[in-house]
């Protein structure tokens, strides 16, 4: 139960991310620039986590290096950039709905890579959690339905296909990051070392995506402080709780606990921005809680 609570707590901090990130993006700041600064700061914060592993450098296997690349380069950098770029090609509601496929990716990869046993009861309760997650996103489903009625071309055009590909990359990247993060934990790497490797590798992979011009200078000096606060909350604290939870849980169970992220994001918007929750969203949150608790208590 402790592992699940840790991942749920991480989801709460991730939910607070939108209070700072989206206002920055809406003001025209390049999302890639924001992500780059995040990785710079987080690499500095967690660089101390690599020191205990220096003595293990000669013992690190090629598969460990590959795992760090998947967690950091693919999951933390490429997936984030792809997800951000997908909003240029798809309706935001559709992007958010497609992101709900991530637990399925984690479950499949956990079965293949980590040989985790997938029991039938687990699949049943996972389906229950997915239903809860969809209800939490019911406003997005309604907006998507209206979009189809108004403009079918928005979901079938070549431009939309590019968007699907980008969302697919992000879902696969984030799902793979969970599975290979668990593999590193099983290989004996401590959470702080995994986080250090994640953000440093992500930083290296992000460099080619950055526009090295005056756009790198943020419009206001306070923007740097906002990014620092966001990094501490949704980066340092959230990821520390997340990897502490992942250390105690299977990858597939972690994926279910991560589904609380959109629910907490909605709660945060309700508390701080006054955006009311619908009855369906509250029901979805309740279903998600029940399904996740059953999976944890039954240890599927």
Residue 263 contacts by C-beta under 8 Å, 6 or more apart in sequence? 11, 15, 133, 136, 281, 284, 285, 288
**CA 81: distance to chain centroid?**
12
pLDDT of residue 96: 74
What is the residue range of 14's domain? 2-298
pLDDT in tens, 23-32: 887 788 888 8
Q: Tell me: the pLDDT tens digits for 249-263?
A: 999 999 888 888 877
Q: Output phi, psi for 210, to 5 deg.
A: -80, 140
pLDDT of 114 over the 70 cut: yes
Q: For 143-176, how does the pLDDT look when each residue is reduced to its tens digit (9 = 90+)?
A: 777 777 777 776 677 777 888 898 899 999 999 9
> What's the total number of domains in the chain?
1
What pLDDT is attached to residue 159?
74
pTM, full prediction:
0.85
* More confidently predicted of 145 and 231: 231
User: For residue 221, what are the contacts with CB-CB under 8 A and spacing of at least 6?
Assistant: none
Instruction: For 125-138, write each residue's pLDDT tens digit.
Output: 989 988 988 888 77
């Amino acid at each position: 139960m402790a592992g699940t609570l840790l991942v749920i707590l991480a989801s709460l901090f991730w939910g607070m991310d939108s209070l700072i990130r989206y206002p920055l993006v809406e003001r025209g700041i390049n999302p890639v620039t924001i992500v780059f600064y995040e990785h710079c700061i987080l690499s500095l914060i967690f660089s101390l986590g690599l020191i205990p592993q220096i003595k293990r450098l000669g013992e690190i296997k090629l598969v460990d290096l590959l795992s760090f690349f998947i967690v950091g380069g693919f999951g933390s950098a490429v997936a984030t950039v792809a997800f951000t770029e997908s909003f240029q090609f798809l309706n935001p509601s559709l992007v958010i709905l497609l992101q709900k496929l991530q637990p399925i990716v984690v479950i499949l990869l956990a079965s293949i890579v980590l040989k985790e046993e997938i029991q039938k009861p687990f699949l049943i309760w996972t389906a229950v959690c997915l239903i809860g997650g969809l209800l939490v996103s019911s406003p997005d489903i309604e907006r998507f339905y209206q979009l189809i009625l108004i403009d079918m071309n928005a979901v079938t055009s070549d431009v939309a296909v590019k968007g699907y590909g980008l969302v697919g990359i992000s879902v696969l990247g984030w799902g793979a990051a969970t599975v290979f993060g668990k593999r590193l934990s099983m290989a004996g790497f401590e959470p702080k070392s995994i986080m250090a490797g994640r953000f440093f590798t992500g930083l290296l992979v992000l460099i080619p995506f950055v526009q090295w011009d005056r756009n790198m200078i943020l419009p206001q000096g306070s923007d740097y402080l906002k990014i620092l606060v966001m990094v501490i909350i949704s980066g340092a604290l959230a990821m520390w709780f997340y990897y502490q939870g992942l250390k105690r849980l299977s990858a597939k169970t972690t994926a279910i606990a991560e589904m609380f992220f959109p629910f907490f994001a909605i709660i945060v918007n309700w508390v701080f921005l006054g955006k009311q929750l619908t009855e369906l969203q509250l029901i979805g949150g309740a279903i998600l809680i029940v399904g996740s608790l059953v999976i944890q208590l039954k240890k599927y």
